[in-house]
Amino acid sequence: MAYIAMARKWRPESFNDLVGQEHIAKTIENAIVGGRLHHAFLFTGTRGVGKTTSARILAKTLNCTGGDPLIPCGKCKSCLDIASGHPMDVIEIDAASNTGVDNIRDLLEQTQYTPMIGKYKVFVIDEVHMLSKGAFNALLKTLEEPPPHVIFIFATTEVNKVPQTILSRVQRFDFKRLTTKQITSRLKYICDQESISTDAEALGMIAEKADGSMRDALTFFDQAYAFTGNDMNADSVRSVLGVPPNDLYFSLLESIEKHDLKGTFAVVDKASETGVEFAPLLEGFAKFVRNRLYVKVGGISAEELNISEGLFSKLNSCAPSLGNGDLLRIARILTDLQGNIRRSTNPRLLVESAFARMAYLDRVVDLKRALAAINDPASQGSKKKLTEPQAQVSMAALTAPAPSDSPFTIDFDGFDAPKSSPATSSANDSFAIPTAPEAPPSIDRGTPEMDPSMIIDFGGAPAFDDDHGFDEGPSFAEAGDDLGDVQAITRYDICNAWQNLIRSSFSQEMGFFATSLNGSTLEHGDFQENPFRLKVVYPAAFKWGFDQMMMRDDYRDRLLNILEDRLQTKVAVTYELLEPKPGEDVSGVPLSPWETDLQHEPGLAEFTQRFMAELIATRSVPKMVDEENSDGEQCAVTPEQE
């Protein structure tokens, strides 16, 4: 007797044997029992999920003359006729090769004749979306009012190509993709029936490669069975299906953990030498990373992952320094890589560069723990000394010699660092970092407590030019400081970075808001207090900025949000305007054109208040000169026109 493929031999014979489509089986069974059977069905879903098989089971169930109306007996004349492959009452055609209107007309002519053996004449049209427009139109009338003995069953993988006029005349059933667990369970049942010894890892590989299709799973299983015989193991299945070995993935993940770029390139070389394609390599590594993440999170067993206990244990101890965030980042890079490799003309270079990028990146740090360590005063004293490798990586930019024409000088509470020129400093001196002094205790100045020693004035604050126009000057364009871009600042450094925050506000086009902070300094309260108290202090000469902050709730809210975002903690901000010093004349402080217009133009002031307008920039207007033209008339021209 000729050999029968596993996909045909173990095809379901009743709705009870269907795997993963219980919702469809139950619906059809209820319709049969209740006598509410529709005359036309549409089965849609991906390949190999049981659409055509369900159509044959339905035809066999309806025409079976056995005792059970829901389970075909397989022994009556109708069941034997259908099992023969050439039934008289079940007409099955492939729409991919019978697309024309003439094919459908020939089919419809047979609807006139009554069934010869069973109760119904069942017409099964596979891949119905391939029919032409004329063929669909020929079906409409008969499909809407068929003879009582006719049942239509359509199957398609692309239901979006079926016209709405057809969809409105049929009952649609959507077949689900099968899960790995469902496919594995079915394969294990077949192995028990066929006396094949195997393991969960081997069946899991077949189920994952099938990608939700039971027919594909049975085809791969048949292929592995032909290679291994009755003793089917994971290594044999991996060899016959071209699945990369797990050792390759372990080596790759460990190389990524150790930042070993050379090791990642060696993995690509080994995969190429053994004939592994890049697409299955990436797909297998993505599943490997997913399993590692599941094992690390916990709460899942080896059986649920369809892997052996040995592999599960090895996964549990693999790359321990890689956190959940690192694994998620690797998975993201893999996802992008799998989408790009199909369009790449040099896939090997793309894979190598992606693996190298995974190995090159540093570990992901838990933000909550990092902020807690930064804001913990007890941890500040233990961070005085920095090792040389860390200094070379993270502090090189801060320890570089400052340019001689730098517009800013920083005085850390009288701490005077020695100055050295590049010519006299050695290579080791370039990474020498002076130890920051301990934070001074707070000095009681009343309510709230502030420490005047922490008031740092960097100079170079924005000013107004001689024409009362806003002039940012080199202090903003050429400062070159990076503190304004830092995402988090410690409580001890916030006063030092105050002027940098103001300059950062200018760089982010918040000029009028930043101008309101011009000339101010920042004082801090108790470092241990929560919320952390800060005070913005204005000299008497900058009363305008103080008045702006007091009048504008949105300015105060914006400053509060900036400070809390940089400090990563709750902040309480107060404002103070200092009294003029003895003999200080503050009446002569020039007003900008914008301030002058706000004072003398009520309409502009009302417009600014109603629409919350801000001054972004100013531009000088050329002066007009009166001249006489050739006709003796006065005309206004600009100096450029002269």
pLDDT of residue 373: 58
Rounded CA separation 217/211 (Å): 8
The band of 272, judged by pLDDT with boundaries at 50, 70 and 90, is confident
User: Is the Cβ–Cβ distance between 57 and 83 less than 8 Å?
Assistant: no
In the structure, what pLDDT confidence band is assigned to residue 27 with cuts at 50, 70 and 90?
Answer: very high
The pairs formed by 109-112 with CB atoms below 8 angstroms and a separation of 24 or more are 111/142, 111/146, 111/147, 111/150, 112/147
User: Does the pLDDT value for residue 555 go beyond 80?
Assistant: yes
Question: Residue 478's pLDDT is what?
Answer: 34
Burial 541-573 (b: 16+ CB within 10 A, else e): bbbbbbebbeebeebbeebeebbeebbbeebeb
CB count within 10 Å of CB 393 equals 9
Average pLDDT over residues 271-279: 85
Determine the average pLDDT of the residues in 458-467.
37
Answer whether 0.85 is exceeded by the pTM. no
Fold of the domain built from segment(s) 246-360 = Zinc Finger, Delta Prime; domain 3 (1.20.272)
Q: Residue 452 has what pLDDT?
A: 39
CATH of segment(s) 180-241: 1.10.8.60
Query: What mean pLDDT do residues 491-520 have?
Result: 77
Q: Judge whether residue 246 has pLDDT over 90.
A: no
Q: Rounded distance, CA 552 to CA 51, Å?
A: 68
Of the candidates 49, 59, 40, 52, the one whose C-alpha atom is nearest the C-alpha of residue 171 is: 40
What pLDDT does residue 388 have?
42
How much is the pLDDT for 386? 40
Q: In what order do the strands lie in the sheet with 150-156?
A: 90-94, 121-126, 150-156, 40-44, 171-174
Res 417: pLDDT: 39
Residue 421 has pLDDT above 50, yes or no: no
Single-letter code of the amino acid located at 454: M
How large a percentage of the chain has pLDDT more than 70? 73
- Peptide linkage before 531 cis (omega within 30 of 0): yes
Per the structure block, which two tokens stand in for 400? Answer: 């570089």
Least confident of 424-438, 537-551, 615-629: 424-438
- What is the arithmetic mean of pLDDT over 468-475? 37
Residue-level pLDDT at 161? 93
Type of residue at 77: K
pLDDT in tens, 325-375: 889 999 999 999 988 888 888 999 999 999 998 988 876 655 555 566 566
Q: What is the model's pLDDT at position 303?
A: 77
Name the most confidently modeled range: 153-167, 191-205, 492-506.
153-167
Chain-centroid distance, C-alpha 232: 39
Residue 558 phi/psi, 5° resolution? -65, -45
Looking at residue 190, what is its pLDDT? 93
Cα torsion at 38, 44, 49, 54 (round to 10°)? 20
Cα dihedral sign for 405, 411, 414, 415?
Answer: negative
**What was the pLDDT predicted at 485?**
42
C-alpha to C-alpha distance for 76 and 206, rounded to whole angstroms: 37
Range 31-39 average pLDDT: 90
Residues 506-531 as b or e (16 or more Cβ within 10 Å = b): beeebbbbbbbbbbbbbbbbebeeee
Q: At 639, which amino acid appears?
A: P
For 64, 190, 512, the CA distances from 193, given in Å and listed in that order, are 27, 5, 81
- Residue 634: beta bridge partners? 628
User: What is the pLDDT, as a whole number, of residue 372?
Assistant: 61
- Which 3-state string (H, E, C) describes 91-145? EEEECCCCCCHHHHHHHHHHHHCCCCCCCCEEEEEECHHHCCHHHHHHHHHHHHC
Q: State which H helix or E strand residue 27 sits in.
A: helix 22-34
Q: What fold is seen in the domain 6-174?
A: Rossmann fold (3.40.50)
At 553, which amino acid appears? D
Mean pLDDT in residue range 421-447 = 38
In angstroms, the CA 522 to CA 457 distance is 9
Please state the rounded mean pLDDT for residues 43-53.
92
Domain boundaries, the chain: 6-174, 180-241, 246-360, 385-431, 452-593
Residue 84 vs residues 69, 78, 90, 593: alpha-carbon distances, Å = 21, 10, 11, 98
Determine the straight-line distance between the first and last CA of the chain, rounded to whole angstroms. Answer: 108
CB 532 within 8 A of CB 569: yes
DSSP letters, 315-382, are: HHTSSTT--HHHHHHHHHHHHHHHHHGGG-S-HHHHHHHHHHHHHHSPPP--HHHHHHHHH-HHHHGG
Compute the C-alpha angle 7/10/12, nearest 5°: 110
Assess whether pLDDT exceeds 90 at residue 515: no
Spatial contact of 132 and 161, defined as CB atoms under 8 Å apart: no
Q: How far is CA 96 from the centre of its chain?
A: 39
Average pLDDT, the chain: 77
Determine the pLDDT at residue 621.
61
Band of residue 488 on the pLDDT scale cut at 50, 70, 90: confident
Q: Grade residue 635 by pLDDT with cuts at 50, 70 and 90.
A: low
In this prediction, residues 110-132 reach a mean pLDDT of 91
Residue range 208-233: average pLDDT? 90
Cα 462 to Cα 503: distance, rounded to the nearest angstrom: 9
Give the tens place of pLDDT for each residue, 567-588.
888 899 999 998 887 766 555 5
